[in-house]
Amino acid sequence: MLIEIDNPSSVKRQLAKLFEESLRKTVPDEPDVVPLVDACVAKSGVRFADYQCNNAMSLWAKVKGKQTGFRGPPSIGKAIIDNLPASEMIESCSTAGPGFVNVVLSKKYIAQRVQKMLSDGIDALSPRLPIKRVLIDFSSPNIAKEMHVGHLRSTIIGDTLCRMLEFCRVECVIRRNHIGDWGTQFGMLISYLFENFPNADDVNEAAIGDLQAFYKASKVKFDSDPEFKLRAQQAVVKLQGGELSYRKAWQQICDVSRTEFDKVYQRLGVRLEERGESFYNPYIPMVLEKLDKLGLIEENDGARVIFVEGVNIPLIAVKSDGGYNYCTTDLAALWYRLNEEKLEWIVYVTDVGQFQHFDMLWRAYRRAGWLPKDENEYPKCTHIGFGLVLGDDGKRFRSRSSEVVRLVDLLDEAKRRCKVALLERAKDWSEEEIEKTAETIGYGAVKYADLKINRLTNYTFNFDQMLNDKGNTAVYLQYAHARICSIIRKSGKDIEEVKRNGNIVLVHEDERALGLHLVQFPEAFEEACVNLLPNVLCEYLYNLAEIFTKKFYTNCQVVGSAEEASRLLLCEATAIVMRKCFYLLGIEPVYKL
């Protein structure tokens, strides 16, 4: 568990409080027994209970042989039921197997919870996180290089984590884009820029053209031309020394890159606050001096390094040639974030291969006394890793020419394929409707295909699978939401008036199944949030769509039925929860089929 949150809207937590009271009466001599309450998972399509308390077996191991009167786990389970305080939540309890306590919630309670969600709004269900200032460091492309699928994962996951923490009512969630805009490669780029554009006024996005091609051409010259390499190395010194013409050239290259990055962020609907590596450059000498005075920095093969416990290789704070690297920048950036920005929690979203780098960084800070020894105390740092995006060949995802796939091209291809499908089935739609819907579905499909996978796992990028309207895809979910909206429209009823005057009554078993899943949204969100795993939220959303589509919609007529008002309210509640899940995942809903 990465964080603990206060989640009073969780049914599971409310049940746990009841069982906590029962356990105190059942085993008064065993203090601090934590109630083990979990939602039941349907087996073979059948759910025998809604929740289960599983304390009996572990308690028997503690009290066996003592004068308690218990004869085994089943008798403890029965006593737990007998000592449960009366509650409108529970319709019935029973024991099963070795003392498992099965709980069935009352239909009236479920209906009231769904009704309250409609009256109070879904944001009233948001939990609370006991901190005020969080920074999520994500996306983080390098200037003059194309954003690739690794940046796609970081951007999508990072944006979702920001949305999740914002829903937890954190006062300040900073969306930080730590751009790679400083370093030795800029001497190479600036020198190449000067060769091609002696007149600095001629430099613009159109003049530079394809930034990736520009970078490659400069790299070829750097590797093959010793004189150019020397000029590039001298250019770095002039840039770091603040020479105006070099700073201007650096800024021009950054501006062109930023325009390319923004094309991706606009398509994905992602907001970021940029702060490049260059920002922290003035803080580096001071941070290194502080670390040196604390005795952390030592000489090693001409470099200045920091050793940390449990790792054989050191952090290189200053290279043997006296230059700085990304590790130096990260040391300064972390100092700034803790001391100037006063952050309580800093979350780094990068691929799993960078875990050791960040772990060593934090260990160095703990050595310095700048972070708590206990890594769970605040202020704290957390690495959120993710796996690779693979092609159909099982290797890192690339184009057929083995080039890194441009994210803009990848997203536009998703939109193009959706547009082709829409043109075939939406004959009466306007061009504007088709264009907007193609974007919504295409970009949403790419995001969801990533987020539904446990972030630590590799996944295969496949357009056909992610754009399928059947199965666990964004397209299926968006269409399910559009179907709900269509049902409400066809009823001809003012849904706000139905919400004011109607009541939910759960009679049919599939009405109850839908209602139960709706009231479990807070605990599903909590599970996703405490370990920062968006795939848990995706699983909840997919199951909600399945219950609505394959159970409720199939077996419970809405429009024109005697139960129309109640069932319209269930439709509306489902749509509201789906829209909140879509928002948290950074996906726009579709309202029309």
Give the tens place of pLDDT for each residue, 187-222.
999 999 888 877 666 666 666 667 778 888 999 999
**What is the rounded CA–CA span in Å between residue 556 and residue 6?**
36
Strand extents, DSSP E, 97-188: 100-105, 133-137, 172-177
CB under 8 Å to 387, separation ≥6 — which residues?
351, 352, 453, 455, 456, 457, 458, 459
pLDDT of residue 46: 63
Judge whether 344 and 134 are in contact, CB under 8 Å. yes
Residue 322 CB-density burial (10 A; 0-12 exposed, 13-18 middle, 19+ buried)? exposed
* Mutual angle of helices 73-82 and 11-26, in 10-degree steps: 110
Q: What is the pLDDT of residues 408-461, one digit of tens each?
A: 989 999 999 999 999 988 888 999 999 999 999 999 999 999 999 999 999 999
Asked if residue 590 lies in contact with residue 481, where contact means CB atoms within 8 angstroms, the answer is yes
**Backbone phi, then psi, for 322, in 5-degree steps?**
90, 0
Q: How far apart are the first and last CA of the chain?
A: 40
| The token pair that represents 84 in the structure block | 């449960």
Q: Of 29-43, 499-513, 570-584, which gets the smallest average pLDDT? A: 29-43
Beta-carbon count within 10 A of 204 CB = 12
pLDDT, tens digit (0-9, with 9 covering 90-100), for 523-557? 999 999 999 999 999 999 999 999 999 999 999 99
- The whole-number average pLDDT for the span 129-144 is 94
Q: According to the model, what pLDDT value does residue 480 have?
A: 97
- Per DSSP, which regions of 439-561 are E strands? 459-460
- Asked if residue 492 has pLDDT above 60, the reply is yes
Q: Average pLDDT of 170-190?
A: 92
Calpha distance 14→234 (Å, rounded)? 66
pLDDT at site 575: 98
pLDDT beyond 80 at 44: no
Quote the pLDDT of residue 425. 84
* pLDDT at 399 (0 to 100): 55
Average pLDDT over residues 302-329: 91
pLDDT at residue 66 tops 90? no
Question: If you average pLDDT over residues 171-181, what whole number do you get?
Answer: 96
Q: Which phi and psi (to 5°) does residue 317 adopt?
A: -85, -40
Q: Which two tokens stand for residue 559?
A: 């429009």
Say how far apart CA 50 and CA 114 lie, in whole Å: 16
Q: Are 159 and 264 in contact (CB under 8 A)?
A: no
pLDDT at 207: 60
Q: How far apart are CA 87 and CA 209, in angstroms?
A: 69
- What pLDDT, on a 0 to 100 scale, did the predictor assign at position 1? 75
Strand order in the sheet with 90-96: 37-39, 51-53, 100-105, 90-96
Contacts of 77 (CB under 8 A, 6+ apart): 56, 95, 99, 100, 101
User: Which residue did the predictor score with more confidence, 63 or 264?
Assistant: 264
pLDDT band at 87 (very low <50, low <70, confident <90, very high): very high
Mapped onto helix, strand or coil, the DSSP state of residue 443 is helix
pLDDT confidence bin for 133, thresholds 50/70/90 = very high
pLDDT above 80 (res 493) = yes
Cα–Cα dist 92/587, whole Å:
39
The pLDDT assigned to 587 comes to 98
Residue 45: predicted pLDDT = 60
The stretch 102-127 carries a mean pLDDT of 97
Residue 252's pLDDT is 86
CA–CA separation, 389 and 398 (whole Å): 9
Query: Taking the CB of residue 263, how many other CB atoms lie within 10 A of it?
Result: 15
For residue 345, the model assigns a pLDDT of 98
- Please, which pLDDT band fits residue 491 given cuts at 50, 70 and 90? very high
Q: What is the mean pLDDT of the chain?
A: 92
pLDDT digits (tens, 9 = 90+) for 570-591: 999 999 999 999 999 999 999 9
Which percentage of the chain shows pLDDT scores above 70?
96
Which pLDDT score is estimated for 531? 94
- Compute the C-alpha angle 123/106/125, nearest 5°: 10
Mean predicted confidence (pLDDT) in 51-77: 89
Instruction: Name beta bridge partners: 274.
Output: 177
pLDDT (0 to 100) of residue 201? 63
| Lookup result for tokens 């770095």 | 236
Q: 3-class SS at 35?
A: coil
Q: How many C-beta neighbours within 10 Å does residue 20 have?
A: 13
Assign residue 209 a region (left: φ > 0; alpha: ψ between -120 and 50; beta: otherwise). Answer: left
Pairing of strands 389-390, 380-386: unpaired
Cβ–Cβ under 8 Å, residues 249 and 200: yes
Does 94 or 31 have the greater pLDDT score? 94
- What letter does residue 180 receive in the DSSP assignment? B
Q: Hey, is 102 helix, strand or coil? A: strand
pLDDT digits (tens, 9 = 90+) for 334-372: 999 999 999 999 999 999 999 999 999 999 999 999 999
- For residue 295, give every residue at least 6 positions away whose Cβ sits within 8 Å of its Cβ, in sequence order, or none: none
Cα separation, 189 vs 184, whole angstroms: 9
Percent of the chain at pLDDT > 90 equals 76
CA–CA gap between residue 499 and residue 437 (Å, rounded) = 29
